[in-house]
Structure 1
Amino acid sequence: MNLIAIDIGGTTIKFATWQNNELHKEFSIDTPKDLNTFYEELTDGVNELKEKVNAQGVAISSPGAVNKKTGVIEGASALPYIHNFEIVPELEKRFDLPISIENDANCAALGELADGAGKGCNSLAFFVIGTGIGGSIIINNKIWHGAHLYGGEFGYMLIDGKQLSAIASPVAMAKRYNEQTGKNFDGKTVFTLADNGDPIATKERDIMLHALASAIFNIQHSFDPEKIVLGGGISNNPELVPLINDEIDRIRHNFDIATLKPEISVCELKANANLRGAIADFENEHCN
């Protein structure tokens, strides 16, 4: 099946094609500021690729809480104009093709399940570690959306009385460090400072690692996925998984009864995960 794939981001929209079971990145555009321009530029992009590929559909990764039953993107995102109306039929009419839309974190998880760190699994938890903490849960090869579309919203989890997003993201870690030192460093720099023995950086990194390890421990012992995959820019740091594993070992040693040791991996598809997952979502929705 030949498909067109679109990854809608807050600053950039990426277009790709899926041919002979391979993803081909085609081009990207700046994300429009209003709905009419959004419609026009997406339609122009799809029509351009339809001339190149005999496409049978359009697979879309989008911010927001996508309601598969209603075709509405609920919740909120950096693109307020795409929310809270039936966008699926409108896009199908403009593209003259069937479409699928899924949340971007869910797409990333599906991409890793199909061709990345989760390949061969039928269950996984996917963490997106960025400005906040997002994620996705896959059970029996399907996204668990939850009764209220909150499946995988790990950032709301309470760790030591605080929301995970407020204590476990690199952005939050850097903010705490900067408030204490008067600096203006990013999370990557604070991580390096901790490596070099900076006591404040070490303390704040330990807080972040403990929160992430606690969340992963909780997910493993509640949903019990085969694998937990970490995404986001920090996943490029080769120290991340060993440090989290060390912290999980410390947590496990506090229990007298046997506990599970999560299998943790970093995402493999990187920038292609959302596009590949959108393809998988389309195939799940229209082909199975």
Structure 2
Amino acid sequence: MNVLVIDIGGSNIKLLATGQPERIKIPSGSDFTPNDLIPLVKDATKEWSYEVISIGFPGVVKRGTIAADPVNMGKGWMGYDFEKAFGMPVRIINDAAMQALGSYEGGKLLFMGFGTGLGTAMVFEDLILPLEGGHLPFKLGTFETHVGNAAMKKVGKKKWKEFVYQTIEHFRHCFQPDEIVLGGGNSKYLEEIPEKCRLGSNKNAFTGGFRLWEKEFKI
């Protein structure tokens, strides 16, 4: 089965299909909508062969359907019929959950993505559990307000890293994972990797998208 994976982000949309050596990147932005996405993806992948699609979406996904519009893009995502638009089967999953699935090597895994905000998800065998852990209260705000990109710019990298390490330990004690994968664009700033943690890769999002069609997962 040839799969097209679409990894949707607030700055860029990244595409990769089975058998293709290089991904394609398409700029998105604060006004980007699904009606913008569809023709751009079709044009960019017109030379590729695929029968099904996986979409990693930066927001709440319930039972394979987008449940709310993202805060950093345009409107119209909630309930959008991607299968009708693309004319083929589509599976939609939270973007952090897709990275978690692509990072999974066994046991109980917690994924923490440090980027614009804090993306969190867990994988245990055939169960994929998206989390909105970044919205949990922490100090005088939430975890996301302390470890997101805006926080790093506000307090500086040294203080930001202190908050990140505190966040990792809070989540470790709460969820008791066997392993924590640290992803997102800002995880590269962590010089010291805590015990039973490892750095992930954005490539894992594509691996997760391909795996999504290998069997039926509980999401």
Range class of TM-score, shorter chain: 0.7 to 0.9
Distance 1:236 1:49, change over 3 A: same
Q: Which residue of 2 aligns with 1:111?
A: 102
Aligned partner letter, 2:61: V
The 4+ residue runs of structure 1 with deviation greater than 4 A are: none
1:28 corresponding residue in structure 2? 25
Query: Within 5 A, what are the aligned runs for 1:36-185?
Result: 36-50=35-49, 55-69=50-64, 71-85=65-79, 87=80, 90-113=81-104, 119=105, 121-145=106-130, 151=131, 153-169=132-148, 171-177=150-156
RMSD: 2.6
Provide the C-alpha distance between the structure 2 equivalents of 1:37 and 1:265, rounded to a whole number of angstroms: 36
Identity of aligned residues (%): 26
Return the letter of the residue paired with 1:12.
Answer: N
1:237-248 equivalent positions in 2, closer than 5 A:
237=189, 239-241=191-193, 245=194
Residue type at the aligned position of 2:6: I
Aligned position for 1:253: none
Shift of 1:266: 1.2
Q: Which of 167, 186, 192 is matched with 1:215 structurally?
A: 167
Deviations 1:128-166 (A, max 9, x none): 112322211223342113xxxxx2x22223333432122
What is the TM-score of this pair, normalised by structure 1?
A: 0.65
Structure that is richer in strand per residue: 2
Task: Structure 2: state its 5+ residue gaps.
Answer: none
- Decide whether aligned partners of structure 1 residues 283 and 36 sit closer, same or farther in structure 2, where only a CA change above 3 A counts: same
Larger Rg: 1
More divergent stretch after superposition (122-131 vs 76-85): 76-85
Give the TM-score taking structure 2 as reference length.
Answer: 0.82
SS at match of 1:131: coil
- Superposed displacement of residue 104, structure 1: 1.1
In structure 1, runs of 5+ residues without a counterpart are: 114-118, 146-150, 178-186, 192-203, 246-261
Partner of 1:13: 13
Q: Residue 234 of structure 1 is aligned with which of 181, 186, 191?
A: 186
Q: Which has the higher helix share?
A: 1
Query: For residue 64 of structure 1, what is the amino acid of its counterpart?
Result: G
Relative distance call for 1:24 and 1:127 in structure 2 (3 A) is same
Counterpart check, 1:272 vs 2:198: no
Partner residue, 1:254? none
